[in-house]
Structure 1
C-alpha cells in the first residue's frame, strides 16, 4: 500500500461511509498530505502500514512546532482518524497515534453581536442598490435561522415551506433538517424572491437556487464574507465579525430569552448537545432566573 492510494481510499471512506461534507473531507486529506510531503522531503522509509509512533512524533515536532496549540491538536486529530481507518480496514493492527498526546486547548467562546448590533448591520443595507433586497434577506436568514454560510448558499426555492413556517436546510454531510422561520425573515425573503429575483435570468443549473449573483449564478462563500464585512463596517461596529457570528448570536439570544438547549441544538443541526453547550458559557445571567422560576424551594 502506498501513501497516495491510501489517501484516495480514505477520502472515499469519509465521503461515502461517514457521509462527511466535501469541505471536511478536503481538510482531513490535507493533514495526511502534509505527512506525505514531510516523508518525501526527509526521505523517510515508511509506508502507511509500517510508519511508527516515533516517526510520527518526528513529523509533528518538525512540521508542527511553529503551529499554535489548536492547530497542532487539529493536525494530530486528523492523523488519528486516518490511522483508525487503516485499523478498521485491517491494513494495520495498531494505531501509532494512540500514545501521542495533543496539546490541551481551551474551548474558545464564540464572538456574538448584541440585538442592537444585529439591527444596525441589517439597517446598513442600501435598499436603493440593485442587490439591496437580496443582501438584507441574506443577513436576515443568517441571523433569523442560525444557518451556516454553506446552508445559505445552497438554500433552494423548493426548500421554502412558508405556509408551514419552516425551511428545509441541508447541513454538514448532506444531512437535512427543518428549521422554523420567523415572520420577519420570511417577509424579507419573499420581497427578494417575488419582487427582485423573479426578474432575473438564472443560469439553468441554478434555477432552483434562492440567492443569485448578478450573472444568475450561485453566490460564493467569499461574497457572503465580503457582504458581512462591508455592512459591519458601515454600521460602525469594530468587532471582528464573520457570517458565523450571526449563527452564534442567533443561539445566544435564544438562550438568553429562555429557549430550551435541546431545541437550539435541533435548529443549529448539532449532532451532539455538547457542541451546543458552549453557548451556556457565553452568558450565564439567565441561570439564576431559571432557578428562581422552576425550583420548588424558590
Structure 2
C-alpha cells in the first residue's frame, strides 16, 4: 500500500458530501452518534485514514511527507516483524517500541519517530480503534538544546557541533567540483556542484528549499542586487540575498548549458536537474535529495573531513557565521526562515559562551 495515497473517496475533490458520507457508512466507519468509528477497521484502513485525515496537507513539503512515510514504515515493520497487528497494540507493545527506538536511533530521530507514533495512537483513540489512550506511556529522549550531534557515541562530548568552520566549508565546496567523475558534460556537473555548495554555505538554505529552486526564483531588486524567492517550511515565502560570489557561479552554471542569464520571474523550470537525462530526453527532471546527499558525502570523503557531515551542516554554519559577523539576530531569523527567534537565539548563545571564554583568556586569567 502506498502510504501517501489518500483514500479514493477523499482524493476526488469533486466528490459530494453525501457520497463521502455514504462511503464511510458503507464501510461502517460512522457510528450511531454520527462520529468517526474505526472499531471494525483493518490495519490497512486505519493507516489509510490516518494519513488522509491527519497527515497529508497541501502545505507539507515532499521531504516532510517522505519523512512521515519512513516513520510509518518503521512502525509497521516493527510490529509486523513481532507478529503484532496494529489493532492489538497495548501498554507492553508501546513500551517495547519506545525502548527499541530509543536504543536504536539517535535522540532526534528517536524523538521524531516516537512523536509520529504518538499521533497515530491519539488518532486511534479518537476514532475508537483503541479503547485506551496509550500515549501516556511514551517517553521521548531528551534532545540537547542547540545543534549538537546526538549520535550515541558522541553524546558524552557536547562540544561536537553539527557545523563547519569557514575553511572546512570552502574545502568541501571545492571538493564538490573535484569529485565529478563523468568526462561527458564534466563542466556542467562541476558548475552545478559548485553552485550547490555555495548556495548551501552562503545562503543558509535547507536542502529541500535548494532543490525546489527554479530559474524564476531569482530576480533583481530595485537596486540591482540579485535575490531569490524561497518557499520554506509550511509553504512560507521569504527572500534571501544572493552574494556576488554565488551570482557569478549561477551565471557560469547557466552559461555552461548555453542558457540565458536573463532573469525570467515566471520560469518554473528546475534550477538543478538530472543533467544526463536532460541531454538524452530534453526534460529537466528535478534533482533528488539522494543525489544531493551523495554528492556532499563524496566531497566529504574526498577531502577527508568528518564523515558525519551532511548538507544540513552548511545551514548551521551560515547561521553561526552570520551572527559572528554582527548580522542582527532578527535579520538572520528572517533570511533562514526560522519560525521563532528563540531558535536563532540558540546559535547566539553558543557564540556568547565562546566570547566569555575568549575574554578570560585575553585577560590572562587562569
- Per the normalisation by structure 1, the TM-score is 0.77
| Aligned twin of 2:363 | none
User: Does the CA contact (< 8 Å) of 1:15 and 1:21 recur in 2?
Assistant: no
Q: CA deviation at 1:186?
A: 1.8
The answer to whether residue 169 in structure 2 is matched with residue 118 in structure 1 is yes
For residues 216-260 of structure 1, the C-alpha deviation after alignment (integer angstroms, 9 at most, x for no partner) is 2332223323332344455x4522332212111111100111122
Aligned counterparts of 1:44 and 1:75: Cα–Cα separation in 2: 18
| Contact 1:168–1:177 (CA under 8 A) maintained in structure 2 | yes
How far did residue 54 of structure 1 move? 3.7
Give 1 or 2 for the bigger CA radius of gyration.
2
**1:250 maps to 2:323:** no
3-state secondary structure, aligned to 1:129 = helix
State whether residues 63 and 208 of structure 2, in contact with CA within 8 Å, keep that contact through their aligned partners in structure 1.
Answer: no
Shift of 1:271: 2.1
The answer to whether residue 64 in structure 2 is matched with residue 24 in structure 1 is: yes
Q: Give the match's secondary structure for 2:46.
A: helix
- In the TM superposition, residue 40 of structure 1 has moved relative to its aligned partner by 4.2
Q: CA distance change for structure 1 residues 5 and 278 in 2, over 3 Å: closer, same or farther?
A: farther
C-alpha distance in 2, partners of 1:145/1:5? 43
Cα deviations by residue, 1:249-279 (Å, 9 ceiling, x for unpaired): 1111001111223322222222233433442
Q: Could you tell me how far 1:66 is from its partner in structure 2?
A: 4.4
Preserved contact between residue 228 and residue 241 of structure 2 (Cα < 8 Å): yes
Whether contact under 8 Å (2:200, 2:314) holds in the other structure is yes
Q: 1:82 aligns with which of 110, 114, 120?
A: 120
Alpha-carbon spacing, 1:65–1:196, altered in 2? closer, same or farther (3 Å): closer
Partners of 2:169 and 2:83 lie apart in 1 by: 54
Deviation at 1:146, TM superposition (A): 0.9
| Cross-structure match for 2:277 | 215
Superposition RMSD in Å: 3.4
**Residue of structure 2 equivalent to 1:15:** 56
Question: Superposed, which structure 2 residues align to 1:164-203 within 5 Å?
Answer: 165-193=226-254, 195-199=255-259
Q: Is contact 2:173–2:194 with CA below 8 Å preserved after alignment?
A: yes
Q: Distance in 1 between matches of 2:192 and 2:64?
A: 28
Deviation at 1:156, TM superposition (A): 0.1
The offset of 1:44, in angstroms, is: 4.3
Deviation at 1:84, TM superposition (A): 3.2
Greater relative contact order: 1 or 2 (C-alpha under 8 angstroms, separation 6 or more)?
A: 1
Distance 1:41 1:120 in 2: 44
Does residue 260 in structure 1 map to residue 328 in structure 2?
yes
Number of aligned residue pairs: give it: 279
1:73 matched residue in structure 2: 111
Q: Secondary structure at 1:226's aligned position in 2?
A: helix
Contact 2:216 2:268 in 1 (8 A): no
The separation in 1 between residues aligned to 2:212 and 2:120, in whole angstroms, is: 29
Alpha-carbon deviation of 1:123?
4.2
Looking at structure 1, the residues matched to 51 and 85 of structure 2 have their Cα atoms a distance apart, in angstroms, of 24
Structure 1: runs of 5+ lacking an equivalent = 201-205, 292-298
CA shift for structure 1 position 90: 7.4
Partner of 1:138: 196
Q: Does 1:238 align with 2:305?
A: yes
Q: Map Cα deviations across residues 201-220 of structure 1 (whole Å, 9 max, x no partner).
A: xxxxx971112323323322
Instruction: Give me the whole-angstrom Cα distance separating, in 1, the residues matched to 2:89 and 2:301.
Output: 50
Secondary structure in 2 matching 1:98: helix
Q: TM-score, normalised by structure 2?
A: 0.64
